[in-house]
Structure formats: structure tokens, C-alpha cells
Amino acid sequence: MKFELQAIGVMHSCFKQRFGTPKQARRAPAARGWIEFYPPYDRAEAFVGLDGFSHLWVLFLFHENLDKEVQLSVQPPHADGATYGLWASRSPNRPSGIGQSLVTLEGMETDKGKVRLHVKGIDLIEGTPVIDVKPYLPYVDAIPDARSAFLPQTPEPQFEVVFSPQVEQRLTGLEENYRDLRQLIIEVLQHDPRPPELRNAGRRIFTLPLYDLTLRVKILDPAHITVTEVAPA
């Protein structure tokens, strides 16, 4: 059976590409974005009561993976190279390309009768099609004693993030326009944003976009990752 999915809106994100985007929502609590809704779903009547919820489920399409072949066996991040079945993973290469993320609702903004949602703790890139939004209900959605197989606990940070003196000075001015920018950089880099191919190749110097900025980063030793420059993209 085939069905058509209609996007109700689009995510505008601090992450401009997949490289550097957290593998799971809420791994970077300082990561912010906002959802633009398409008419008629942007009218205020559709949002009555939503401001009483602290968290939302956002359902979306992995739009950059829709043309990729789906593999039934995958190697999830943090699984130490072990192979698991597709349904035991959250791989973005899925038959229907649907993803879901639990995000924090930071605020609602109304402009000329149209509503947008400001959210944080996101793991979606700029331009991600949003197909649904649902309130998070703790009494049914939270299961304290749930098992999580090969990820029994929150992964520990892999790096201590260090800022060069020039970057420290630059961040002081930038945080007036980019909320919690320093914390966001730490949250993104401490878990090693490099995809497996770059790690295996020993890539130690790279650039990473955040908002309309570009970070230049160096891995100097197994314990430290250094931000050497923050510049306009």
C-alpha cells in the first residue's frame, strides 16, 4: 500500500548540514530552531492550548536520505562497530523516510495571525520537512524502566572542548545575537561530530557550520578538541 504524506511546515535550524548535527534530539540542549507552518496549518486556532506543554514530538522526513538504498543491517553510532537490524536502530535510511524527535517548546510567536514555534534540543537540519507535531505526554510517553539494548545509558563525552584565546574573545560579542552559542559548540563537539569515514581516515582538522557561522576545529590529542576560529560563513 502507498500513501501520500503532506508536509505541514519546515524546520529552520542552527544546523545547516548533516555533518555536526547531533545523532539524537536533546543531545545538544542549546541547539535552537523554529518551525514555519504552511497555510492553513499556521493559523492561531490550530495552536490553542499548545503553550501548556513543555515538550513536543516532531515527526519529519529524512529528506536528504529518501533516494538512498535501505539496508536491513546497520551499524548504529555508539554500538562499537556491531551490526544490528534496521528495526533495532534509528538509521535515517528507512523505507518511508520518517523520523521523530522529542524537543523542548521554547515559545510561540504570532505574526499577522500566523504562528511559528520556537524549539530547542533539536537534531534536524535546515529545510527538514515537518509532517506532524504532537504534545509530549509524560504519563504515557515516559517509561523510567525501559531497556535500550546497546545504549543502556547516556554516552560519555569523547572530548574536552577548548577555545583559542581569539575565539573566546569572539564568542563574547557573538552571544549577544546567538543565544548559548558557546554551550552549543561544546555540546556539538564533545561527542566527536566526525562521521565514521573521517574518523577512520584520521581527519583531525575540519570546518563545521552553525547558524550563519563557520567553525574551524582541530583535534590535537585523543582527549581535546580545539576551536581555532569562528567566522562568518
Please compute the mean of the pLDDT values over residues 154-168 and round it to a whole number: 92
- 184-200 residue pLDDT tens: 999 999 999 988 778 77
SS3 content of the chain, % helix, strand, coil (to 5): 15, 35, 50
Report helix, strand or coil for 185. Answer: helix
Please compute the mean of the pLDDT values over residues 157-169 and round it to a whole number: 95
**Top-level class of domain 160-232:** alpha beta
pLDDT at 62: 95
User: Where, residue-wise, is CATH 2.40.30.70 in the chain?
Assistant: 9-141
pLDDT at 178: 94
Place of cell 583531525: 204
- 8-57 residue pLDDT tens: 999 999 999 999 999 899 999 999 999 999 999 999 999 999 999 999 99
How far apart (Å, rounded) are the C-alpha atoms in residues 120 and 34? 8
Q: In the predicted model, is pLDDT for residue 78 greater than 80? A: no
pLDDT at 232: 94
For 186, the grid coordinates are 561544546
What mean pLDDT, rounded, does the chain reach? 93
DSSP per-residue codes, 95-129: SS-EEEEEEEEEEEEEETTEEEEEEES----TTPE
- 101-159 residue pLDDT tens: 999 999 999 998 899 999 999 999 999 999 999 999 999 999 999 888 887 677 889 99
pLDDT above 70 covers a percentage of the chain that reads 100
User: Where, residue-wise, is CATH 3.30.2310.20 in the chain?
Assistant: 160-232
How far apart (Å, rounded) are the C-alpha atoms in residues 44 and 230? 38
pLDDT at 211: 96
How far apart (Å, rounded) are the C-alpha atoms in residues 201 and 142? 40
This prediction has a pTM of: 0.92
Please compute the mean of the pLDDT values over residues 80-99 and round it to a whole number: 91
Q: Looking at domain 9-141, which CATH architecture does it have?
A: Beta Barrel (2.40)
DSSP per-residue codes, 14-77: S--SSTT--SSTTSSTT-EEEEEEPTTTTBGGGGTTGGG-SEEEEEEE-TTTTTSPPPSEE--T
Q: In the predicted model, is pLDDT for residue 84 greater than 90? A: yes
